[in-house]
Amino acid sequence: MSFDYDLDFDNIDFRKEPDKYRVGRGEQGVLMVEPYKGEILPHWRFKTPEIAKESSEKIYQLFEEYKEKDDFVGMDMARKFIQMGYTRARRYANYKGGKKYDKEGEINPREINDEKAESARIFEEKWKIVRNDEEYLKKKKEHQKKYG
């Protein structure tokens, strides 16, 4: 999502005003876009593979519900949360406590956590499905053409 800093994100309902939503790279804006943040965030977890499986399946279910309602912004936000599940679980899989850098700004040594790596793999599976979903890609292109 590219940001228009003149917008007051706290007061925009992107479901009612999808024209104000801009598709961005990766996970940009994932914690700013309501009401989707409030609908998806409570389900976003990756502590263990079991939790990651339940979480990724629930968020994927929301993706499908948004698709049924022809709600591209919801679909894109669900995709962002799934992607963020993968990237955050990967960070915790690679670095103890998820901290890539130490206090001096140096990269900490990698310490692979197999449990978090499995959580990342679970989210990655769903991420591949949603980012390649034909209906999602069609709606994304339409949204970008119409709104930028």
35-86 pLDDT, tens digit per residue, is 999 999 999 999 999 999 999 999 999 999 999 999 999 999 999 999 999 9
Read off the DSSP letter of residue 107.
Answer: B
**pLDDT tens for residues 15-27?**
999 999 999 888 8
Lookup: tokens for 27: 């996970």
Read off the DSSP letter of residue 46.
Answer: -
User: Which neighbouring-strand residues pair with 101?
Assistant: 107
Q: How many CB atoms lie within 10 A of CB 59?
A: 27
pLDDT interval class at 3 (50, 70, 90):
very low
Q: How many CB atoms lie within 10 A of CB 114?
A: 9
Instruction: With beta carbons less than 8 A apart as the criterion, state whether 92 and 53 touch.
Output: no
